[in-house]
Each structure stands twice: as C-alpha cells, then as structure tokens.
Amino acid sequence: MKILLYIVMLSACLFAQSINFIVVDEFDVTGKPGKDKFVELVNTLNQQNEIEFVLFNGLQVNLSDTDDLVKRTIKNIKHPVYILPAQSNFWQHRSAREDFMNDYSDLFFRRNYDTLKVLGLNTTVSWSDKPFFEREVLTFIKDQKLDSLSSAVLLLNSDPSTVKNFDAISNLFSGSKIKFIAAPAGTRREFTKENVPILSTSVNSRANEVFKIIEFKNDSLFVSTSDISGKTSAQKIYSIIDGIFPKEKQNYKFDPDKILRWSYDLGYSTTSKVITHENRIYAADISGQVVCLDTLGKKRWDYFSFGYIYSKPTARDEFLAIATIQGDLETVNARTGKPLQSIGFDSPITSDLVSFDYSGSYNFMIPKQSRSRAAVVVGTQSGRIYCYDMETMQEIWKFTNTQGAITGEPLIVKGQILFYSLDGTLYCINANTGLLTWKSKLTGRNESDVYASSLTTNQSDVFISLSNGKLFSYDLLLGKKNWEFDKYNLNTTLKASNDGRLVYAKSTNDRFHILSARLGTWVREIITKLGSEKTTTDIIELGKNIYFGNEEGYLIEIDDNYKYNRIFRSDFSPIFSITPVGKNRLVVANHNGTISLIRIKN
C-alpha cells in the first residue's frame, strides 16, 4: 500500500500542469533605438529553451510606420507569440484597433492546459485614456464556459486596480479558480496576495531589466528577471493559493425619475454616434452592423457593411451614407435598408460623415434620376477630404492639401466646410468647389498627434478645442483668430449655445465651463465632482437645461440654476452620443452598444 501511495504521489508530481512562458513588458519600438534593441531582444528570446509562448505586454508600436522591421522580426521568433497593445497605441486613434489586429494579433487569446486556461485580455480602448474591458472582451470570457471545475491564469496589459470596470469580469468566472493574474502593477511589490494573487510583469528599466521568465508548476511561481542579453538579475519563488472572484450583484442601471422609454442592444461595442432622420434613428457598431429604429424602439431594418464602422453616418433625402475603417463608402436606402452603391478608398476613413445640399455647377457624367442634391463629405487617414453625390456616387471634388489624417466631424456652415487635420491645422474650404478659403495652424512646431473636438459654431465664429487643452475662436468667413486660451484644462468636448452667446466646455479636472463666445472668458465655472476624465461626449442644450455624459455611464443634467444632477445610466460604459428627438426626448448611446430613448421632465 505504501508503494502504491508513493507511485501515485510521484505520478502527480511528474504530470502536474506546468506552464513556462516569457513576458516582455511595455517595450517601445516606435523609434530606431527601440527597433535595434528589439532585434537584439528577439535573438535572446530565441536562445531560451522549453518556452511555450512569448507575450509582448503593452508593446508600444507606431501603427503608421511604413518600416516593417518590427513585424518581420516578430515572425522570426521561434516560440508562439502573443501581443497586447499599449494604451498609447489606441487612445484617440480611431483606426488603431483594426490597424493593430491587421499588423500584429487579436486583442485577446487563449491557451488550454487540461482544466487550466490561460487568457490574455486587452484593456486598451480608443475612446478613453483609462483601461476598460470592452464588450467583446467580456463576450470572449463568457464563451470560455468557465465553471467551478476549471481554473484560469489571466494576463492583462494594465494594472487591474486601474481598469474602470474590472468587477464586470467577476461574475463571468462562475466560481472558477483563478491561479494568478500577471499584469503591470503600480505597486513596487512584485507579488501580492489578495482575493486573487497578482504577479507584476513590470521591469526596472534603470536596472536594465527587460523580460521575465515565468514558470507555473505545482501551485508555485518561479520568476526570473533578465536583461536584454538574457543574463538573470533576480530569481524568486512564490507559492500560489487559488483565488476566487467574489460574486457581486451588478446593477449599474440608474433611473430614479423613470425617464427611460426604451433601450435597444446593438450586440457589439460602438464608437459611431447615433443620428436621426425623418422620425427614424440610425445606429452603427464596430462589427459593421447598421440598425434603423423607429421612435418606439422597434427595429425597422438592419444592414451589414463590408467592414467595421467607427464613423458617424449621415442621412439626407432617401439616402444613408456609412463609412468603414477599411476605406469603403456605402449608401443604402434610408427607408428600407436596401444597399445602393459602394466605392473604396486607398486609405481608412477616419472622419465622421456629413452631408449637405450641393448647389455648385458640377457636370454629372451619370444622369441623376431624382431631384436630390444630397452630397456627402468624407475624410481619410491619408489627409484627403472628398465630396460625393449621394445618389450616383460621383466625385464632385477632393481636397488634398493636408499633411495629416482628417479626424472628427467636419462642420458645414454658410457654404463653407471646416475640418481639422492631424497636421495641427484648421481648414476652411468652399463646399461647392473644394477650394481653400483659409487655414490656420493651431499646434506648435514640436507637437504631434494633437486631436481636436468636433467643431461648433454660432454662425459667425467657429470654436475648437484641442487635446493639449487649448481653446480657439476664429471668425468664420475671414479666418481671423478672435481669441485663444489654454487655462481651462479642456478635453475635446465643446458646444456653442443655441443662442450663440455662450460656449460650453468640459474639462479634464472636474469642471464644466460656461464661457463667453465673444471673449472666451468665464461666465460660470461648475465643479461637477464627477472625477478627472478625458472621455469625449456630446453636449446638448434642450430647453433650459444642458446635458452631457461621463465615463461612468451617467447622463448629467445642468439646470437653469447651474445645479448638476446624475439623471440616468443604462450601464457602466461611457455615454458618448446624445441626440435630441423633438422638444423633450433624447437618444443616448454608450460604448457598450446600448441605445436608449429617454423623456426629459422639464
């Protein structure tokens, strides 16, 4: 009996689950020095034996770089490779999600070891500078069908304590055991034991540390830290006690005054703002789905495009125009959803779409079948902006004199089209000819990747705020700068009041500013106590009140006494799109893909 027991124990030791992998944390390959070190690092990684996979965690890449050295070097790694992106790759870059997946890898991955699953989960998003689990990540976890008999190792590219909706994954594990989480950690401690053990993948670059070799075996962690040549600087052993996420009753819904009339779930995340047209509501999501709803929340039709949709669509007359990040401009019948035409560009479409009634003298080669003068304006990552007839999809004009991607929503007012380019310039061109009226450089010589708010106007001046905190006012027709301020710590959320006398602006430091449109000076500063945030949202003035969203999913109301209140929330995901419907209704959308119609009680 003793011999049999000894054999069983020996067998358990020999066949215990073992995982041996490498984590390279927050490696920067955006410049030549980083690329050179990356080649050296890969040579070192290929000398490591018995490694099951390599994770580049928070890899900082330049997605617009034409040099494919990094991609070629990754292909030379002899071990399986997974890559989770750095937040800097995604923040405010509309096309970054698809660019990253096309160039490198998916945003989550799984490796199976009997009853153990290793899950790599992305926490970076383009619409916030703070980590967040997108809906697609949560769906991925749910699809793993984890139960009480299974266990998991989680690999994250952000400190778990900084992920805004980290508790959203708690109930998805259904009591399954969590061996440990490996992630960059803000604490100086490499290993912490809480409800779930956390191993920090961070390295000390000052000590020339570059990567960690992690071996998990027999409920123990063996961690070796090495420099770029593979020389080990530290070795530690930690014992693991299975952790279990506590089940939490998640009820993010907030509707104390019962203002919700209906909600519709798109089923996917969305960054495309909702539009309304002829008593219809149009919404699109990142999967490429477009849905038409009536004002009662009933789906009238849906349509699936040829790619992923991140841009706001536009509707005019009987035409609905949509754009994909892959560079396709498509039109469908706004009433029926029937596809009409599609054209492709050689560059991703990075602007929102806008439309207007064209009144120029263009001689259409293809005869029009209707009296519609609807034209659509679209901007691309290559810095070109185009105008197309929405019925025939004939190009009316194009403007190519920019040096950066066209972002945000162009503004059409008084026969002019104003737009911002990532070359740091505000442009004004003639809507009928595409010829330049005026332009003004807004950023400094050494500033790059400075993003802007959607433009807003009071019909005589145009206002724009930048991600560097600066706010500008320009004379609409002459292009003369009226004023400039950088003292408000603004994010890119801006709106002119309905009467044109005020400008509403949201700051990154817990302030909501009401400014004089003529002077740019304070009329009122409201301390909102909503926390510091950089997420963008629409600002809407309806009746005597002002409405905007925040990153915790609340719709905020500021009344005519300048008092603010949280009035609605469908879930924790940020509200970014707010569209008026009539005098007292709003359609609000959050990034999780929930569309809600609420009735305001004035």
| 12 band by pLDDT with thresholds 50, 70 and 90 | very low
Fold observed for domain 307-453: Lipocalin (2.40.128)
**Rounded mean pLDDT of the chain?**
90
Mean pLDDT over 14-41 rounds to: 88
In this predicted structure, the answer to whether residue 93 has a pLDDT above a threshold of 90 is: no
Three-class SS state of 396: strand
- Number of neighbouring beta carbons within 10 Å of residue 316: 20
CATH 3.60.21.10: which residues of the chain?
17-239
364-383 tens-digit pLDDT:
888 888 999 999 999 999 99
Q: Give the whole-angstrom CA distance, residue 508 versus residue 106.
A: 31
Can you name the residues that pair with 524 across neighbouring β-strands? 514
Segment 149-200, tens digit of pLDDT = 778 999 999 999 899 888 888 878 867 889 999 999 876 678 887 778 999 9
Tens digits of residue pLDDT in 434-453: 999 999 999 987 787 788 88
Whole-angstrom distance, CA of residue 488 vs CA of residue 480: 22
CB–CB of 323/380 below 8 Å?
A: no
Q: Looking at residue 338, what is its pLDDT?
A: 97
Which SS3 state, helix, strand or coil, does residue 136 take?
helix
Residue range(s) occupied by CATH 2.40.128.630 in the chain: 307-453
Using CB atoms within 10 A of its CB, is residue 202 exposed (0-12), middle (13-18) or buried (19+)?
buried
Residue pair 177/197 in contact (Cβ under 8 Å)? The answer is no
Mind listing the pLDDT tens digit for each residue in 225-270? Answer: 999 999 998 899 999 888 888 776 667 899 999 999 999 999 999 9
CA distance 27 to 46: 17
In this prediction the pTM is: 0.92
What is the DSSP code string of 486-520?
A: --S-EEEEEEE-TTSSEEEEEESSSEEEEEETTT-
Mind listing the pLDDT tens digit for each residue in 564-585?
999 999 998 999 999 999 889 9
Q: In this model, does residue 532 exceed pLDDT 90?
A: no
- pLDDT in the model for residue 234: 86
**What kind and span of H or E run contains 432?**
none
**Mean pLDDT (whole number) for 92-102:** 79
Quote the percentage of the chain above a pLDDT of 90: 70
Domain 17-239 has what CATH class? alpha beta
Residues 281-329: tens digit of each pLDDT: 999 999 999 999 999 999 999 999 989 999 999 999 999 999 999 999 9
pLDDT at 6 over 60: no
Model confidence pLDDT, tens digit, residues 474-495:
999 999 999 999 888 888 889 9
> What is the rounded average pLDDT of the residues 351-372?
92
pLDDT of residue 5: 36
459: buried, middle or exposed (CB in 10 Å: 19+, 13-18, 0-12)?
A: exposed
Q: Burial, 237: exposed, middle or buried (Cβ in 10 Å; 0-12, 13-18, 19+)?
A: exposed
Q: Is the pLDDT of residue 35 over 80?
A: yes
Asked if the model's pLDDT at residue 11 lies above 70, the reply is: no
| Number of C-beta neighbours around residue 172 at 10 A | 17
- Number of residues that this document lists for the chain: 602
Mean pLDDT calculated for residue range 103-109: 89
Examine the pLDDT at 92 and tell me if it is beyond 70.
no
Query: How much is the pLDDT for 4?
Result: 35
Best CA proximity match to 241, nearest among 218, 212, 214, 213: 218
Contact in structure between 496 and 456 (CB atoms under 8 Å): yes
What is the rounded CA–CA span in Å between residue 58 and residue 449?
19
What tokens appear for 66 in the block? 């034409």
Decide which of 149 and 139 is more confident.
139
